[in-house]
Structure 1
């Protein structure tokens, strides 16, 4: 039986003024943003128009391309790719989708695998997030008493302790070994406790602590470059923070969404989210205030606003003077983090020599536990040194990166390794560069959970 032509897709392409080749290029580019590798051409689009249905996540990628082009949400169904599946990875619809059910969907299977997370597509439309003032009076889900189990302070303390442990583990080894365990713990027993009955003082604390753990799970996905999954965890963290009545954790959630958006090139959306995070009403601890201002600084730098970046960097530094104790946990911030954010802002503003000095300061300040941050900072430093024409310094720094990267398992480190090879290929006639390239060969193997 011949396939039915996809008239919905044809109409949307006409409205978006896209031909087949342009859609294929856009899908390939969006796949790259999401850590996937696709090589579609015009012939594939012709097949889609004739009624062929590509495998997931290609319909989601097509829908996202059209959504961005038309500045409205286009679902796979609306693009003619309806298949009746119960969950296609669409962004959380605030206060309608149950956040606890979303956590169950995102959890690893009984075998411990996360099959499907890599097929979740990052949504630009899902960056339109209400500020705290807009959601503070919104009705939310009431899960209290859905199970007979009663929870108390012990469960809240357990979630907080496990969140700290997972954060330290990620700092030491990267997301690869940590992500399945953290998301599995969040799905069971934490979701069960969120369904249980609790006192009026316990329930907000439990939801707030769970929101921070959810935010950490999102960051673990971000660290492994699973951007669609990371975004969904961040959304659920916001929903849990809203149910807890916790504007500080809500602000932290907005901040990580801003960071992710900026890293993916959505600079104006990142700036909007960073400012929304600063507009939450509750007084946050000094380190969290510094964290929020530093992200606003980087977001301003990404848009070319030097004055705005400098203002927020200074404000972050002042806040940090009130409490600069190093601690690894969701919402904390210390001098090594600040030096890293300064480096990012200066690099975005084209001030590479200053960024190099800031990165060196950040690396020097990192504790032995912060191996993942140090490893990524070394890769960033080498790239900046190479961009400034300091090839020998870059090679020396990349050797330090190599000393660490075999013990850090995450997508960002694997990408840094690929970028290093790509950067060095044009210098392979230089013996020190050739030695370094040869050193990288044994470490080109899969690691850590993706």
Structure 2
């Protein structure tokens, strides 16, 4: 065996997981597939790893991610008895350098495939508020020129405009614009000289833009890329001492995790967002409590799910009328969270009623959200056996769908097509199915 030592650390983790060799191999393959690198490992590969064969460098993060998801905690290279990447690949770039590199990659159409292969990691290190608050030195690296509030206002206005485009047309249309703006306009502003109050305002508005860009990456299904944008948003929010965007970003990361089925990670992030905003106003409190309720429901904790959804409802009743242009929380959003809690706790009929209420309350301006939530409503109506009602809902989805460039909307339409396929003897179902094929083509 060439003097190889058995990997006892990996053996201990495997024993703790309760997986068989085949189950471990399948879990690693699944993570690889999510990341755009399909694998075909079987139990013999696991046996070799435990005997001391070092997995390929590209596979090692997938092994750690699979174990992290199973065990519900981050698993490091050392924990698994695997060699760490070279120091050069783990050294964290400074805030501005990392922001520019991220934006440049996202601007380049030739890089889209690489970005899509980014790994969504439950073991991602999330900087806590004390780790990022007030740290301005990373972005105070140039004195090329001086900026003022005019430049800050321009960044805020552009962020609001991109958010409006995302709401109407989807993240695939708006995100490249946001990435180009980050690189070509915002990064030079961050390198310029400015008074402290202007710099903090610029950092805060840039954090908003980074959060929004990450949110749009989630919409396109680029979950690893979204995490990278979200972490940058946390760093700049801390540098600006902006609790609101810091908590909003953590809450967005929780939403991403729960939608991907990582309920424990979603709950950790939702609770971290709430803990980092002890003096939140009523709308922000509703915003955070709604996500906590959804996350608790996803973990099966009925008591806390119902407690937090009640807290969200009470806070919404007291909420102020004004909120941010994005990241805000409205009665329609609360109704959506009520629906998710009801569904996770087994009340499918109640979930359908709450989704209908959410759709009724939501402004038609939010076309991308309308497509997603109506598609979800149609799925749940089908689960209840309400075929023709689901077809009517699907028809409303198809009215807006051609105008939206959204990976999540694409996925919803494909899923509805698959769900309708067994019912094509029904004339209504056949008509809507054929319309969906025509629209999606």
TM-score calculated relative to the size of structure 2: 0.86
Aligned to 1:151, what secondary structure does the other structure show?
coil
**Larger helix fraction of residues:** 2
What RMSD over aligned residues (CA atoms) do the two structures have, in Å? 3.3
The answer to whether the 8 Å contact 1:327/1:334 transfers is no
Distance 1:128 1:200 in 2: 26
Give the match for residue 435 of structure 2: 439
Bigger mean CA offset, 12-21 vs 278-287:
12-21
The answer to whether the 8 Å contact 1:258/1:269 transfers is yes
Residue 377 of structure 1 and its aligned partner are, at CA, apart by 0.6
Residue 235 of structure 1 and its aligned partner are, at CA, apart by 0.8
Give the match for residue 123 of structure 1: 121
Give the match for residue 418 of structure 2: 422
Give the match for residue 294 of structure 2: 298
Residue 143 of structure 1 and its aligned partner are, at CA, apart by 2.2
Q: Structure 1: which 5+ residue stretches go unaligned?
A: 446-450
- Residue in structure 1 matching 2:388, options 387, 392, 399: 392
Give the match for residue 247 of structure 1: 243
Say yes or no: does 1:163 pair with 2:172: no
Give the alignment of 1:40-439 within 5 angstroms.
40-42=40-42, 45=45, 53=56, 58-68=59-69, 71=73, 72-74=75-77, 79=82, 96-109=92-105, 111-115=108-112, 116-126=114-124, 129-130=127-128, 132=129, 134-135=130-131, 141-281=137-277, 283-323=279-319, 325=321, 329-439=325-435
Q: Structure 2: which 5+ residue stretches go unaligned?
A: none
Residue 59 of structure 1 and its aligned partner are, at CA, apart by 4.9
Distance 1:210 1:285, change over 3 A: farther
The answer to whether the 8 Å contact 1:16/1:69 transfers is no
The answer to whether the 8 Å contact 2:331/2:358 transfers is yes
The answer to whether the 8 Å contact 2:126/2:231 transfers is no
Q: What whole-Å deviation, never above 9, does each CA across 1:284-319 have from its counterpart, x for those lacking one? A: 444323211211121122122333223322332333
Residue 205 of structure 1 and its aligned partner are, at CA, apart by 0.9
Aligned to 2:296, what secondary structure does the other structure show?
helix
Distance 2:48 2:110 in 1: 31
TM-score calculated relative to the size of structure 1: 0.84
Aligned to 1:331, what secondary structure does the other structure show?
coil
Residue 62 of structure 1 and its aligned partner are, at CA, apart by 3.5
The answer to whether the 8 Å contact 2:69/2:262 transfers is no
Distance 1:21 1:374 in 2: 41
Distance 2:8 2:182 in 1: 43
Bigger mean CA offset, 113-122 vs 236-245:
113-122
Distance 1:281 1:246 in 2: 10
Residue 168 of structure 1 and its aligned partner are, at CA, apart by 0.9
Residue 336 of structure 1 and its aligned partner are, at CA, apart by 1.5
Distance 1:136 1:39, change over 3 A: closer
Say yes or no: does 1:29 pair with 2:58: no
Distance 1:149 1:128, change over 3 A: closer
Distance 1:12 1:434, change over 3 A: farther
Aligned to 2:145, what secondary structure does the other structure show?
strand
Distance 2:429 2:37 in 1: 28
Residue 135 of structure 1 and its aligned partner are, at CA, apart by 2.9
Distance 1:380 1:9, change over 3 A: farther
